Amino acid sequence: MSVGTFVAIVLALVAAATYAVAAVLQQRVASTTDQADSMRLRLFVRLARNRLWVLATLLEVASYGIQATALYFGPLTLVAPLAGLDLVFALPLIAKSRRVSLSLRHWGSAACVVGGVAIFLAVSPPSRGIPSPPFLSWIPLLAAVIALLLIGMTAIRHCDGLIRAGILAAVAGVEFGVVAALSKSFVDEIGRLGLGALAEWQPYTLAVFGILATLLAQSAYQSGSLAVSLPIIDTVEPISSVAIGATLFQENLASRVPLLALQLIAAAVAVLGIIAIDRSVLVREPPAAADRRAQAH
């Protein structure tokens, strides 16, 4: 393992842990805001009045910065799955906030997530691929993501509650995948051009998609439990990132069929672990109900 790869792995894990803390705090605040502000920029205005949310947002920004630095040292298909482990870091935080203990099932589910990601990366370490794809190759991707956003915004008009939170989280996951890809391209441009990278298109496109992704995530947190939104984001984001890395950035995964099959199985195990965490009583029960259950035992 090269020094750059080791640095990328460490930074990606730090980014995951930082984002986990931010997500738990943000959801705690966002869930108390008016649903009428969902998917509106004024939601940011209301949330910004809460110091806890501001602190969480600063942690989220720090997480993005750490992840972007990791992407400078390693490929997108390596960093994204590791950064997607924030749910594993968030799980004990949720348990602590609800004053309950993690069961063997919770730890087993977390082990599936960690083990699946570890095997996925160990079977065939991703290659670096293209540092920064040309602009024209981004157009189909950005057009598809914008179309998905419009479809999602149409769908949430006809649903609420958990379904609304799930749709928002799924679209947010795709948006975060694009944000990770744009971050990868931007940090590579900085390494090549220095401050001249600010004259390129990436930082401004990154800002737009970053705001959209954050607004979607906050609206998802507002619409339902963190147990609904965070697992979906943590499933969709790394899948989107790996797909973009393998296609747009030409970062090769396993070349032989048996190894590729093993990677897919490992990815499926990680997803099943996320689903198991999502279905657990700990994260599905409202905080008050979880507290009553803990007191009864």
| 117 exposure class (CB count in 10 Å sphere: 0-12, 13-18, 19+) | buried
Residue 14: the pLDDT is 93
Burial class (CB within 10 angstroms; exposed 0-12, middle 13-18, buried 19+) of 288: exposed
Confidence of residue 40 (pLDDT cuts 50, 70, 90): low
Output DSSP code: residue 38: T
CA–CA dist 167, 170 (Å, integer): 5
Q: What is the DSSP letter of 252?
A: -
Give the whole-angstrom CA distance, residue 235 versus residue 81: 9
Give pLDDT tens digits for 131-140.
788 899 999 9
State the pLDDT at residue 66: 93
What does the pLDDT look like over 238-290, one tens digit per residue?
888 888 988 898 887 767 778 888 888 988 888 888 878 766 665 554 444 44
What is the per-residue pLDDT across 62-72, written as a single tens digit (0 to 9) for each?
A: 998 899 899 88
**Residue that wins the pLDDT comparison between 58 and 231:** 58
Query: What pLDDT was estimated at residue 283?
Result: 56
CB-based contact 87:232 (threshold 8 Å): no
d(CA 97, CA 219): 21
CA angle 267, 165, 108 (to 5 degrees): 35
Query: What is d(CA 171, CA 151) in angstroms, rounded to the nearest whole number?
Result: 9
Between residues 20 and 285, the one the model is more confident about:
20
Distance CA 287, CA 239 (A): 30
3-state SS, residue 182: helix
Distance CA 235, CA 270 (A): 9
Given a cut of 70, is residue 41 above it in pLDDT?
no
Residues sharing a CB contact under 8 Å with residue 122, sequence separation 6 or more, in sequence order: none
Task: Tell me the C-alpha distance between 140 and 3, whole Å.
Answer: 35
- Model confidence at 38, in pLDDT bands (50, 70, 90)? low
Average pLDDT over residues 218-222: 78
Asked if residues 172 and 220 have their Cβ atoms less than 8 Å apart, the reply is: yes
Of residues 227 and 90, the one with the higher pLDDT is: 90
The pTM of this model reads: 0.77
> 204: pLDDT confidence band, cut at 50, 70 and 90?
very high
pLDDT of 295 > 60? The answer is no
pLDDT at 138: 93
Cβ atoms within 10 A of the Cβ of 281, count?
14
Residue 106: its pLDDT value, please? 82
96, HSE (Cβ side, Cα atoms, 13 Å): 8
Average pLDDT in the 183-190 region?
A: 90
